[in-house]
Amino acid sequence: MMNFQVLGIDISKNKLDCALIRDIGSSKIKTKALPNHLQGFNQLTEWLYKNIGEDLSLLKIFMEATGVYHEALAEYLHNKGIAVYLLNPADSAHYAKYDSLHKTDKADSQSLARAGIDRLMHHKVRQWQPAAPHIKRLNALLARLDALQSDRSVKTTAWRKPDSALFPKRSASPSAPCRPI
């Protein structure tokens, strides 16, 4: 039997919902909700040290790839030497469907932990590695380009559309008086 601990983290813009399984043969799960910023990341590592001990080498952390919300935490944990694994949201939804009738952030974090155990047991997982600095810069530039193109499209559409304040709708009645400009 494999000897490791698993932490599932459901990540949202403002909050981290964590579910820790220290013994994969047990149904006992410890949960914790923390803020999704640097202070919350520090609180998370303190909570892990308290519940696991100073050696986090056997800890495996599973989270969904959630757009940008997971990136800072994944990088932080990786820099601490903790193994991070990203799950595809569609794959983790499969586990959540069988775990709980109620979809809550706490339940999702527990499903992520169980999905992580299943993936580890079947060797269907690859440890996350941060992108090289030049790739991060390129991704940031591409995201900015997308935002600028979207903004340009919105402004182009607005420019082509007559302004209702400058061109008021005329009444269908021929006797309606025209307003002077």
Question: Helix 38-52 vs helix 71-79: angle between axes, to the nearest 10 degrees?
Answer: 50
| Residue of higher predicted confidence among 34 and 109 | 34
Contact 108, 95 (CB under 8 A): no
Residues 6+ apart with CB under 8 A from 118: 95, 124
Q: Is the pLDDT of residue 70 over 70?
A: yes
pLDDT tens sequence across 15-53: 999 999 988 777 789 999 999 999 999 999 999 999 999
Paired tokens of 164: 């209702």
Q: Which amino acid is at 112?
A: L
Report the pLDDT value the prediction gives residue 87, as an integer from 0 to 100. 92
Is residue 1 pLDDT above 90, yes or no? no
3-state secondary structure of 120: helix
Structure confidence at residue 136 as a pLDDT band (50, 70, 90): confident
Q: Does pLDDT of 181 surpass 80?
A: no
**For the chain, which residues make up each domain, given as ranges?**
5-121
Query: Does residue 61 sit in helix, strand or coil?
Result: strand
Each residue's pLDDT tens digit, 140-171: 899 899 999 988 888 877 777 666 555 556 55
User: Across residues 99-116, what is the average pLDDT?
Assistant: 77
- Domain 5-121 class? alpha beta
